[in-house]
Amino acid sequence: MKILSFIQNNNIASAPSFQRKLTEEEKPEFSKTMDDAFNYLGINNRALIIHGSSFPSKPDSNNRIISNDYYLTKMNGTNPFIGSPYMAKNFTDFVRQNGFNSIQLGPNGKLNKRDKSPYHASVFAKNELFLNYEQLTKDNYANILTNDDFKEIDILRQSNLKNYSMADFDEAQAISKMLTKRAYRNFKTKLLAQNPKAIELNKEFCDFKQKNDYWLEKDSVFRLFSDIHGSDDFEKWDNELDKNIISLINEGDKAAITRYYQVKNKPRSTQKIDEYKFIQFLVDKQEKEDKINRKTDGIKYIGDLLVGFSYADEWANPDAFLKDWRVGCPNGGKNGGPQLWNIAVLNPKTLFNADGSLGVSGQLLKQKIERTINGVENIRVDHVMGLVDPYIYKSSAVKEDGTIDVTNRSYLSHLRGIDPDKNYPRIMHDILLPTLREHNINPKDVVWEDLGSQSTTFQDVFYGGKYNGKNGEEVFEDEKLTGIMYSKGNKMEGITGPRYSFMATHDNEPSVQLLQQDWIYSNEGWNPMYLAGYLIPPYNEEQTKKSARFCQEIEQDQQTRLKAKYAELFRGTPNIQIMFSDFFGIDKTYNQGGQENNDNWKLRVNSDYENTYHKSLETGEEPAMNMPELLSIAVNSKAGLQIAKGEKSEMEALSEISDLNTRLLHWKEVLQEKED
């Protein structure tokens, strides 16, 4: 194996032997080099987009070969069929090592029955499939599981030589039910025996129930009703009393009250409710503990504030929503019509009370925001238009073919009588931004997802900072916000502002698939002359020749074209996001937005991610991102433009990046080195 050297602080030091996979001794210097490069480029927030279910499993151990295609293994403390963002230190350390300082998660809510989309999940109840069961063997969880509990579980796995894995939500649910029931039973047994650790855990559990009673009680009863009817979609229940029971109880209906407590107080129901609450407590406890642990790891989580509410949230809070109206999108649906998202619309008339305090729907929205912030350091606001001026449609007017005529759909601000006091545009100023500041989140750091058609009202409020308050129309300069930048078809040259830029997200194909799409070959943002000129500015004769050669390489080699586009991303905005499939070179779509696909939401990083990542860099078979290589291109681009624009002399600009560039090129070669 080769022995290489690296330059640090202008001193040459001999480096230890290494493989493609970095050794523990090399990782700190590699990580420092990544940070130095991003800091030079002025990129403050570097987020890897990866939803919780896509995190990797622990590698299997004690495998027994069954056939060429399958092997038998034992469970090792985490759910092998789905990822989890909790206690995932090995993976987050790897992410941090490569220069990222945050991870953008998807919504972490409890999934609906037979629906694996996190964007249809609950706002308040958390996803119990994310539980790290190994943690439940520890003292702070009263050892309510033991390693023997895992050893009893055989896992049949399919051999996989791909650079990715796939979640199995059904199997994950089966594992979850088995172990959470066992954990709850063990907890109650220990508590009955006056086990000191169980008593301490029970104090935490009681505190959790008290603090979260505003949603937890009705949510747990909803699960009983959904089991009775076999669906979370209460509109499909064949019992009108059960469907509207909360509204009827609020009106004092005696039959509704009797039915509610009849279901709730059955002998088996009381245990199921307590068990459900206990599981939610465990997830909440792990989420908070993980947040504490991350403080020293240099990585932050970005939570996803989904625009909608789940069936459970809507059923439990009927007075907070408009009847018969749903949120959608004005285009991209059937026959050129709108997309019908079937998302409940908050009632504008109950957002605020006459005295300016929060009404029923306003309180629910604030609680939703706070619940999202609870376990993370920052948030992404999904479809921010839906919190200012949503595009809504009348659900009762949807035709059998899934279309709807123009008289029953429009932006909320265009529909008479629905929001006469213009309360919806006040959400930004009077609910969302104040709540963020209460939790020490700077609105300028938030990921504002503003893609799609926009109304004038939204543009005035979001970009213009306009607010109609007690003093009439006002403009707040510090509340003029900036949305995200979809860079795949745009030039990054000249882009300004604090926005986040990205090539791919959870809702579109990986960037490598763009190379198969004809439009990029006539797009200015992908033009070889533009990319070469921007990344290698021809400020002298030698640079002109280099730029021309690079232009030719971009023209002739698809992977070079993609590398150039990635490097260009690093030259744009001060905040960037990279989809995990792009980083690991996975040529598979995570979610085909707006389409029903059995593989949607399943893609995840495989358990051997470090080795497969470095193998991809070595062989070039998958277009994984070699961060030192891409950053070197971007760093030289910035220095070259400073020279070309006369901002710095050639000697000054190049000497400034000399040490950094030497280190970047060194690590680029390290990552590509073949193992002897």
232/114 Cα distance (integer angstroms): 9
Q: Tokens 């937890």 identify what position? A: 216
- Given a contact cutoff of 8 angstroms between Cβ atoms, the answer to whether 543 and 640 are in contact is yes
Beta bridge partners of 27: none
**What's the rounded Cα separation, in Å, for the pair 464 and 206?**
46
Q: Provide the pLDDT for residue 675.
A: 63
% pLDDT > 90, the chain: 83
Mean pLDDT score across all residues of the chain = 93
Rounded average pLDDT over 111-121: 92
Helix (H, G, I), strand (E, B) or coil at 451: coil
Per-residue pLDDT of 222-241, as tens digits, reads 999 999 999 999 999 999 99
Look at residue 4 in the predicted model and tell me its pLDDT: 31
CA dihedral 483, 489, 492, 496 (to 10 degrees): -20
334-349 pLDDT tens trace: 888 899 999 999 999 9
User: Are the C-beta atoms of 605 and 166 separated by less than 8 Å?
Assistant: no
Sheet strand arrangement including 154-158: 64-65, 70-74, 154-158
Predicted confidence at residue 470, as pLDDT, reads 64
8 A C-beta contact, residue 46 and residue 35: no
The span from the CA of 169 to the CA of 171, in Å, is 6
Residue 295 has pLDDT above 70, yes or no: yes
Q: What's the DSSP call for residue 239?
A: -
Distance, in Å, from the CA atom of 552 to the CA atom of 540, rounded to the nearest integer, reads: 18
pLDDT value of position 471 = 66
- Residue 3: the pLDDT is 30
CA gap 659, 646 in Å, rounded = 22
Residue 286 to residue 14: CA distance in whole angstroms:
43
Judge whether residue 14 has pLDDT over 60. Answer: no
How far is residue 676's CA from residue 326's CA, in Å, rounded to a whole number?
61
Q: What is the pLDDT of residue 11?
A: 33
Report which of 347, 335, 323 is spatially closest to residue 406, judged by C-alpha positions: 335
Identify the CA nearest to 429 among candidates 375, 466, 397.
466
Give the C-alpha distances (Å, rounded to integers) separating 416 from 19, 413, 453, 658: 67, 8, 21, 64
Q: Does residue 257 have a pLDDT over 50?
A: yes
The two tokens of residue 465 are 């900072």
Query: Over the stretch 365-397, which tens digit does the pLDDT of each residue have?
Result: 999 999 999 999 999 999 999 999 999 999 999
Euclidean distance between CA atoms 626 and 618, whole angstroms: 10
Compute CA distances 410 → 32, 337, 405, 413, whole Å. 51, 12, 10, 8
Contact 662, 7 (CB under 8 A): yes
Q: Where are the domains of the chain?
A: 57-81+131-292, 317-376+388-423+430-479
pLDDT greater than 70 at residue 6 = no
Instruction: Report whether pLDDT(650) > 70.
Output: yes
Q: Given pLDDT bands bounded at 50, 70 and 90, which one contains residue 17?
A: very low
Angle between helix axes 267-294 and 169-192 (nearest 10 degrees) is 100
- Mean pLDDT for 657-673 is 95
Which residue, 228, 264, 262, is CA-closest to 243?
228
Crossing angle for the helix pair 627-644 and 650-672, to the nearest 10 degrees? 170
